[in-house]
Chains A and B, each alone.
Chain A
Amino acid sequence: MLDLLGFGGRGWGLQLLQGMGMTVLVAVSAYLWGLLLGGMAATLKLSGHRGGRVAADVYTTIVRGVPSLLVIYLLFFGGNSAATWVATLLGFNGPVELSALPVGILAVGTVSGAYSAEVLRGGALAVPHGQVEAAKALGMGRWLTFRRVLLPQTLRYALPGLGNVWQLTLKDTSLVSVVALVELMRVAYLAQGATRQPFLFFTTAGLLYLGLAGLSGRLFARAEVWAGRGVRRAAR
């Protein structure tokens, strides 16, 4: 039975590895997109601009209040219907289907961004305000203060929380399988359908996710040590 996981003849090993590669690709891209989106939302939330603050609050509240699966369905099916509508305006006929990969990354990243926003906001608030004033007193401009004082420390404070968001994003990528993107979960589903061995393949998929989570967790722990070098701790 285990030869089904191998790389020869009947084995699904290669497909599983490719699926895992796709999972990592979707997770990393979505996470980065989420960081960008979350960074912008956090900046808006902390800015004095009222409209921006409300917009960012609406984004994080809505996205964190509805299931990720619904966000994926909305962007995928809604995106398809919007694209079809635009295509009709341009004189094309028939339904348009968007490619699952970019839409999946966009959807998972949008969810990830809402969580990142809160983590980054908390990190920025942890930077002592006196430091910003000191930077100003030294004649640093807003951008320079942001780049040299605020950003590095925000990232350090936010790192543990960002690690949690990463784990969340990694697990959320499995939902993209429902819109037929061939990532790890989808490969496992196809494989069990072909071989009638659901337990074997879903256990394997679970173990691979476990491996990815463990490996990336270790990377984040390392990053925390690196970011915290030279910082005295209250307790250890």
Chain B
Amino acid sequence: MNSPLLSALMAALPQFVSGTWLTVQLVALSLLLGLVLATLVAVLRLSHLTPVSWAARGYIHVFRSTPLLVQIFLIYYGLGQFDAVRQSVLWPLLREPYWCAIIAFTLNTGAYTAEIMRGGIEAVPHGQVEAARACGMNGALLFRRIILPQAFRQALPAYGNEIILMLQGSALASIITLMELTGVAKAIAARTFQPIEVFCLAGAVYLGMSFVITRGVHLAERRLNPARK
């Protein structure tokens, strides 16, 4: 590596750090909101009310079958087209690329996670539901105490994959001007004329984060399943 490049990269280090921090923020916030949304949608998806179940199914299908980029553009550019949106209380949020990205990512990961959660919920043995009912539990209590904890545990390995996919999807935030890791890398690559080195460096940071996530999920799996140790 030649030294002007090295000094250029050193000068860009604070930018890389702030870009990584923004990536972490986007991913963490979207995953958190997405998980809440997904749990709700998964429950609706399994509802015995046909219209409710179909609505959940439609949402999942649409958001899983279209590119994330379309979803981001629809929210960032598309919604601003309507005067009703521009005059609404939500406009301060929808005007910001940051919140548009969060909304798009949340809706996207929510759809994928809902299917993962559905698998988890369906894997809970029915005998346990019957036992809980026999003990007098119903509705929310049954979900909170019996179904959801086991569903989460069951869904954890698949959810780990979804976390990684969300991390990779967060790179698209750079297309709507957010300077997260990929955005920073692109700007520095354009300035230093050394795209290969800069993008490889950004790739290494992503790999590092993926590795940490994989290890974290693995640890969580072991902690939640004492029997499998």
Contact = CB atoms under 8 A, between A and B. Distances in A.
Interface of A: 61-62, 64-70, 73-74, 77-78, 80-82, 167, 171-175, 177-178, 185, 188-189, 192, 196-199, 202-203, 205-206, 209-210, 213-214
A185 B69 contact: yes
A202 B78 contact: yes
A198 B203 contact: no
Contact of A67 (B77, B78, B171): B171
A233 to B, nearest CB: 20
Given A174-B67, A198-B80, A67 B206 contact: yes
Contacts of B193: 81
Given A82-B196, A185-B69, A66 B207 contact: yes
Interface in B172-229: 172, 174-175, 182, 185-186, 189, 193-196, 199-200, 202-203, 206-207, 210-211
B70 interface: yes
Given A81-B195, A198-B81, A199-B74, A70 B206 contact: yes
Contacts of A74: 195-196, 199-200, 203
A60 to B, nearest CB: 12
Q: Is the interface of A mostly helix, strand, loop or mixed?
A: helix
Contacts of B206: 65-67, 70
B168 A62 contact: no
B70 to A, nearest CB: 5
B81 A73 contact: no
A174 B169 CA distance: 13
Q: Is the interface of B mostly helix, strand, loop or mixed?
A: helix
Contacts of B168: 66-69
Most buried by A among B69, B78, B193, B206: B69
Contacts of B207: 61-62, 65-66
A177 to B, nearest CB: 7
Given A81-B193, A203-B78, A210 B62 contact: yes
Given A77-B199, A206-B74, A209-B65, A197 B81 contact: yes
Most buried by B among A174, A192, A197: A174
B2 to A, nearest CB: 13
B195 A202 contact: no
B193 to A, nearest CB: 7
A61 to B, nearest CB: 8
Interface in B1-28: none
A226 to B, nearest CB: 23
A198 B43 CA distance: 33
Contacts of B182: 67, 69-70, 73
A210 B66 contact: yes
B171 A78 contact: no
B148 interface: no
A183 B189 CA distance: 25
B79 interface: yes
Nearest to A167: B65
B59 interface: no
